[in-house]
Amino acid sequence: MVDNTFQDIVPANLKCAIETLAHFPSVVQVEAIRSDPDNLIVDVQWAVTLPTKFHKAGVTTVGVKSVEPVQWIFPSSYPLDAPRPTLRQDFPTSLPHINPFKSGDRVPPCIAELSLEDLLHSAGLEAILRAMGDWLDHAASGELHCPVQGWEAVRRDSVSGIISTDTYAIRSDLDLKNTPARFYEYRYFYWDENHYGLGVVATPSLGSSNSDFKSNQTFILKSSAQRYGPALVLQTPKGQVTSDYWPETVSDYKGLRELAKRLNLLDALEARAKYLLSVSSPEVCRRKDKRPIEEFLVIFAVRRPFKVIGTDSYWELLPYRVLYADTTTSHLPNDATVYAPFLIERTTPALLQDVAGKVSDKVIHLTLIGCGSVGSKLSLHLAKTGRYKFRLMDEDYFSSHNNARHGVIADGFSCIGARKTNLVEAEIRKLNVDVESISGDVINSSNNTNHLISKITDYIIDTSASLRVRHWLSHQCEYLPGRLIHVLLYGNAAMGVMAIEGIERSVRIDDLTAYLNTLCVENDSIQKAMYGANTLSRQVFSGGCSSVTARMNDMDISLITTGLTSRLDRYVSRTEDVNDDGVLTIGLVDDDIGLSWRHFLMSKTIVIPKDKAFDWNIRILGQISQDIAALANADTSSEQGGALAGQVCHLSKTIYITHLVPAPLGSVGTSTRFWLNVTGLKEAFQDIHSRTNGQITFLGTWHSHTTPTPPSPLDRRTLGELTENYDFPIVMLAYTGGRLVRV
- Among candidate residues 600, 606, 632, the one with its CA nearest the CA of residue 621: 606
pLDDT at 289 over 90: no
pLDDT at position 10: 87
* DSSP, res 389: E
- Among candidate residues 119, 153, 316, 337, the one with its CA nearest the CA of residue 235: 316
pLDDT at 524 over 60: yes
Estimate to the nearest angstrom the gap between the alpha carbon of 643 and the chain centroid: 48
240-284 residue pLDDT tens: 999 999 999 999 999 999 999 999 999 999 999 999 999 998 888
* DSSP, res 405: T
The average pLDDT across 395-407 equals: 91
Q: How confident is the model at residue 222 (pLDDT cuts 50, 70, 90)?
A: confident
Q: What's the pTM?
A: 0.89
Q: How confident is the model at residue 715 (pLDDT cuts 50, 70, 90)?
A: confident
Phi and psi of 269, rounded to 5°?
A: -65, -50
Cis peptide before 79 (omega within 30 of 0): yes
pLDDT at 338 over 90: yes
For the chain, counts of helices (H) and of strands (E): 20, 32
155-204 residue pLDDT tens: 999 999 999 999 999 999 999 999 999 999 999 999 887 889 999 999 99
Q: How far apart are CA 581 and CA 561, in angstroms?
A: 23
DSSP labels, 589-644: E-TTS-EEEEEEEEPPPEEE---SS---EEEE-HHHHHHHHHHHHH-TTS--EEEE
pLDDT at position 573: 87
- Among candidate residues 426, 234, 422, 434, the one with its CA nearest the CA of residue 350: 434
Q: How far apart are CA 667 and CA 661, in angstroms?
A: 13
The average pLDDT across 318-325 equals: 94
Lowest mean pLDDT among 71-75, 419-423, 435-439, 442-446: 442-446
With contact defined as beta carbons under 8 Å apart, do 293 and 323 qualify?
no
- Among candidate residues 557, 547, 553, 620, the one with its CA nearest the CA of residue 589: 557
pLDDT at 570 over 60: yes
Q: How confident is the model at residue 540 (pLDDT cuts 50, 70, 90)?
A: very low
Q: How confident is the model at residue 53 (pLDDT cuts 50, 70, 90)?
A: very high
- Between the CA atoms of 87, 93, 96 and 97, what dihedral angle is there, to the nearest 10 degrees? 30
- Let me know if the fold of 162-346 is the same as that of 606-742: yes
How do beta strands 162-165 and 197-207 pair?
parallel
- Among candidate residues 210, 263, 262, the one with its CA nearest the CA of residue 232: 210
Residue type present at position 535: T
DSSP labels, 511-580: HHHHHHHHHTTT-HHHHHHHHSS-PPPEEE-SSSGGGEEE---HHHHHHHHHHHHHHHHHHHT--SS--S
pLDDT at position 242: 97
pLDDT at 406 over 90: yes
Percent of residues, the chain, with pLDDT higher than 90 = 78
Lowest mean pLDDT among 18-27, 424-433, 620-629, 679-688: 679-688
pLDDT at 339 over 60: yes
Residue range 606-742, CATH number = 3.40.140.10
pLDDT at position 541: 46
656-674 residue pLDDT tens: 999 999 999 999 999 988 9
Q: How confident is the model at residue 432 (pLDDT cuts 50, 70, 90)?
A: very high
DSSP labels, 47-99: E----GGGTTTTB-SS--BSEEEEEEEEETTTTSS--EEEE-TTS--SSSSB-
Q: 693's torsion region: left (phi>0), alpha (psi -120 to 50) or beta?
A: left
Domain ranges for the chain: 4-141, 162-346, 360-602, 606-742
pLDDT at 39 over 80: yes
pLDDT at 58 over 50: yes
With contact defined as beta carbons under 8 Å apart, do 96 and 306 qualify?
no
Q: How far apart are CA 666 and CA 133, in angstroms?
A: 87
With contact defined as beta carbons under 8 Å apart, do 624 and 659 qualify?
yes
With contact defined as beta carbons under 8 Å apart, do 489 and 496 qualify?
yes
pLDDT at position 722: 65
pLDDT at position 736: 92
Residue 697: beta bridge partners? 646
Residue 484: beta bridge partners? 460
Residue range 162-346, CATH number = 3.40.140
pLDDT at 290 over 70: yes
Q: How far apart are CA 3 and CA 202, in angstroms?
A: 61
Highest mean pLDDT out of 315-329, 386-400, 536-550: 386-400
Q: How far apart are CA 294 and CA 299, in angstroms?
A: 17
pLDDT at position 452: 76
Burial of 45 by CB count in 10 Å (0-12 exposed, 13-18 middle, 19+ buried)?
Answer: middle
pLDDT at 719 over 70: no
Does the 4-141 domain belong in CATH 3.10.110?
Answer: yes
pLDDT at 535 over 60: no
SS3 481: coil
Mean pLDDT, the chain, integer: 92
Phi and psi of 204, rounded to 5°?
A: -80, 180
DSSP labels, 229-273: EEEEEEEPPTT------------BHHHHHHHHHHTT-HHHHHHHH
Q: Which residue has the higher pLDDT, 521 or 439?
A: 521
Residue range 360-602, CATH number = 3.40.50.720
With contact defined as beta carbons under 8 Å apart, do 93 and 154 qualify?
no
Distances (CA, A) of 244 to 108, 153, 241, 304: 21, 11, 9, 9
Residue 76, C-beta contacts closer than 8 angstroms, at least 6 positions apart: 11, 38, 39, 40
449-483 residue pLDDT tens: 556 788 899 999 999 999 999 999 999 998 899 99
* DSSP, res 400: G
